[in-house]
């Protein structure tokens, strides 16, 4: 998965670009994985799902995208775009 986040609320906080590889146990459909991921993120302070798509592409592979906002340090709103695929 690849994700980028930034905060329009703080000019001193720069965005961050992260690439992460996760080894999954067992077989997961993309729909199941995304549902579990959004469930985990829903515990973030101020989490708000902006958009979700299962029709994205990443490196030529079918991928998902999740766009959401969350509170950071109780004062900043972070916007995060996550794009991932399952191989």
Model confidence pLDDT, tens digit, residues 7-20? 565 565 566 778 88
Euclidean distance between CA atoms 16 and 12, whole angstroms: 13
pLDDT at 1 over 60: no
Element housing 80 (H / E): strand 76-84
- Give the residue numbers spanning the domain of 59: 2-84
pLDDT at 35 over 70: yes
Q: How many domains does the chain have?
A: 1
Q: For the residues of 4-60, what is the DSSP string, one character each?
A: EEE-TT-TTS--EEEE---PPSS---HHHHHHHHHHHHTTSTT-EEEEEEEEEEETT
């Amino acid at each position: 998965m690849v994700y980028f986040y930034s905060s329009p609320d703080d000019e001193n906080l720069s965005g961050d670009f992260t690439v992460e590889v996760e080894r999954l146990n067992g077989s997961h459909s993309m729909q199941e994985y995304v549902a579990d991921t959004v469930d985990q993120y829903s515990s973030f302070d101020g989490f708000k799902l902006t958009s979700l798509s299962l029709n994205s592409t990443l490196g030529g592979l079918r991928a998902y995208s999740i766009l959401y906002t969350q509170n950071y340090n109780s004062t900043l709103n972070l916007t995060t775009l996550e794009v991932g695929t399952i191989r």
